[in-house]
Chain A
Amino acid sequence: MEIEEFIEAIENEFEEVQNGSLTPDFSIRDMEGWSSMHALLIIALVDNHFEILLNGEDLRSVQTIQELYDLIQTKLKVG
């Protein structure tokens, strides 16, 4: 999955986020009303699309969608 598709999946996951409004350098915690529930939804989304299970620490270690995407790619390579 390319980062464009990943961004689209995130936009589809959150009703309050407009399609086409997110960019790779968007900081995920700047999402409107960000809470631990958002974190769980992102972890579920990543697990569903990449079969990679992130923990809380993984998520805290990244800021932007690009960093999150890169982390997933690194984990996919490690297998």
Chain B
Amino acid sequence: MAKFQTDGYKISAIYTCVPKNKLRTEDYEWISVEERKMFAKTTGIIERRVATEGVTCSDLCYKAADELLNEFDIRDKIDLVLFVSQSPDYFLPATSIVLQNRLGITKSAMAFDVNLGCSGYVYGLSIAANFLKNEGIRNVLLLAGDKSTISTSYKDKSTYPLFGDAGTATLIQKFDDVENNGNWYFNMYSDGSGADAIRIEEGHSRYPYKPEKKEVYELIDKGIERTKMHLALDGMKVFNFALKEVTPSIRELLDFSRKEVSDVDCFLLHQANLLINESIRKKLKLEASKFPISIDEFGNTSSASIPLTICSRMSEIDWSKPKTILMSGFGVGLSWANLLLKMTRPALKLLEHD
């Protein structure tokens, strides 16, 4: 069972970079004005940031990480570079290694990619924590994000207006002050029976890329037309999954860490869609103030959604006492993971990319 407790680390900095380019739900002309209104109401998405052609997720992560490393001056002390994304620059080599070089990080750092989406930030932190247990590892740079908009079909109302692009950089360091940081509690789950709930079916090794298939659009439903190389999302399946699995897994982690819902200062949920998040909030009987929302302004940004929410919604709040925070990521895989930790205010920055 992937449920464990560990200690001795802190999140020192979280930097996020989003594209400057904004797209608004009300301007999405593929669907009627009424449908746009309904979409905005249900998903909560008013606008989102979309990277222009040629700008990748790694470019966004690079900008966030470069600023972070300038601030902390530890390019020669990074021991692990982790890139969590489902929109890498290349099939190979791993984008983390490309970024190690581009960021001027020492060659003595290890670097690898992790192919996860909405659950990816929590998974990334769990990997960071486990490496940091080892004596030689002191500084981990976690890069998480996606350019999901590269794989959505404009003619698919279930995906195109949902996703935004973002890249993030998080510095996790060894830190022995248990008083202020305490234990990190994780629980994580996987269920491949839902692999088809969110999937890009073709273009990799199971069904290799064929140029002629790029033009073959299928009519899936009213307002949903896409090729097999586009991102396909079964909204009903994902919705059912989130409503069924997330709240019990959060309760399980609270039990495991001997905490009550009321002990948690802030629940940082993946920003999947407002209806899902509101349903979970009601199940947990929580006030809205403990549940920051950033999907209105940025859309669903995959593994970047949790750090993006921290950077955009929590930099101005009162951090005079350490906060007990519960992070919950859930989605593509299907995969879901929660982390409960105590956090002192990390360095936070929200940047924009041209």
Contacts and interface: CB of A to CB of B under 8 A. Distances in A.
Interface of A: 33, 35-41, 43-44, 47-48, 53, 55-56
A55 B242 CA distance: 12
Interface in B9-65: 32, 34-35, 38-39, 41-42
B279 A48 contact: yes
Contact of A47 (B34, B221, B243): B243
Contacts of B279: 44, 47-48
Interface stretch (B125-133, B206-214, B233-241, B288-296): B233-241
Given A43-B239, A55-B236, A37 B42 contact: yes
The secondary structure that dominates the B interface is helix
A35 B38 contact: yes
B300 to A, nearest CB: 15
B84 to A, nearest CB: 28
Contact of A41 (B34, B221, B244, B275): B275
Given A36-B158, A36-B235, A48-B279, A43 B38 contact: no
A56 B275 contact: no
Contacts of A48: 279, 282-283
Q: Which 7 A-B pairs have the closest CB atoms?
A: A56-B236, A37-B42, A37-B38, A44-B279, A33-B34, A55-B240, A40-B239
B282 A36 contact: no
B240 A53 contact: yes
B35 A35 contact: yes
Contact of A43 (B32, B243, B283): B243
Nearest to A59: B236
A44 B38 contact: no
B334 to A, nearest CB: 15
